[in-house]
Structure 1
Amino acid sequence: MNKRKSPSLSASSQFGLTLIELMVSMAVGMLIVLLVSQVFFGARRSIANTSDLALAQEGGRFGIDTMLRHVRLAGYQQENGRAAFSSTLANCGAGSDAAQAICGVNDTGSPLTDEIRVRFYGAAAPAGGADGATLDCQGAALGAGDIVEERWSVVTVQMNPSDTTTARPTLVCDLYKQGGGAIPAARTARVPIVYNVDRLQILYGEDTDADGAPDMWRPANLANMSRVVAVQVAVVMLGENRNAGGTGAAAEVFRMFGASYPATSDAGAIYSAPADNRFRKLYNATVSLRNRG
């Protein structure tokens, strides 16, 4: 009986990868993973930037609109001939307002922020009681004999009162109201309006020739409040996310009222923002005061 030999495996019939081929394959795989990771993190950064921009636009628009809606009411009174506000509103400028309805504080606190204070009466419905059209910054209706004082500024507020890491610079309305024709000495409530307001600056438009239009713009420390007929507000909104290497990686300088505004007596009007990888955006608006003169 013949025995068959098992065929031997020659070197040419073996299949596999050499060490060099394996190393090349690993290098190519690592390169692909690296490229995919860069695309992924780039997409996350883009989403964060888009989210910050959207929140800044929404917050800036809402904050300015809400604030100026109340500033526009400065000096409002439904009944003709009603006396000026009896208690003195602190003289925050070069000349106090004879009606004691508006004033401001320039460059207060740290970081520097402006503050504006306004007073106005409520309005009564024909059948009596508040008409529901004139509201304080808490959203409560004011009757015809009710006086309110509101102080708008930026302070640090914790979004979660029990968590100090949620502290954010916040546009707030400090409310002074007790009903009737008096204004209390102590604050009634602090109302957060918009979080992440990094800087607030305000200019006052003076009417120097009695034509009803502002002829010059001054900060509170220089303005004659009796001649103020308009207010200009500028805010820098701050992004929530830290975006390493992206928007906000370099220091930025914001000229709050434009390059032509002489800020020699208004240090806060030029804001040198830190390079902290936070998105920032400048917004401003102007409003005429309806109840002057």
Structure 2
Amino acid sequence: MALSYVGVAAINLVAALFSIPVIAAGSWLSSQVDSACVQILQWPLIGLGVAVLAVGLAGFVAAFWRLPWLLLAYFVGMLLLMVALAGLAVFVFVVTASASGHPVPSRAFLEYDLDDFSGWLRGRVDDPGRWEQIKTCLAATPVCTAVNQTYATAQELFSASWLTPLQSGCCKPPTRCGYTFVTPMFWISPISPTADPDCTAWSNDQSQLCYSCASCKAGLLQNLRREWRRADLILVVATVALLAVYALGCYAFRTAKTDELFRRYRQGYT
């Protein structure tokens, strides 16, 4: 086998390895409570990562055994996958461009507004049937019980700057509602409650809490935004690295073909 084709095979194998961070990013999202309940981004990431791995290995086989038709399929398939990866990276960046998080009086944590997020993200939680499924999933997780176990007094809770957006939005009533703290998961309603839908949606039922509140949806989206941004950074780096390796593979393949033609030309004169 010509040495140049061995180089092409090695480069294609490296391209396959860049699928690992993409698959890892999707798997990491699957392990996060909110992403596991919403199930939007992790499966495209895992699917594209597996596709890159399969195509990269096919390219390695094609170059190692010098199968022109399979090598051509590799170059076309990998190009399409890079376009898909780049498109997904841009899409995630655009839909997560806006963020929420507003300070409230006498509280170290932030509270969140659903209107601050992109229309596409809001659409993922606006459908009542879909939200019912997400709400049921969230209620089955330890997100709010962790708050109850960590903070024993009102002062401890109110000074908790590290409260996650999901906990801030789903595990307590919004501060503007004027509820009185008893425990992190039990609050006394004000004598004159407001007509704010979130204030009337709060329930001391441990399976209900504020899971029906718009603040819970906003907290979920803010959590998703943070996680998706981290996954998007991995996606961008992997895509750029894959593009560089792909370009190197194209150059190596062209060099291999040139060397092969030159050898044939020389053999024709000997």
For Structure 1 versus Structure 2, the TM-score category normalised by the shorter chain is under 0.3
**What's the TM-score once normalised by structure 2's chain length?**
0.26
Q: Which structure would you say has the larger Rg?
A: 1
Greater strand share, 1 or 2?
A: 1
Greater helix share, 1 or 2?
A: 2
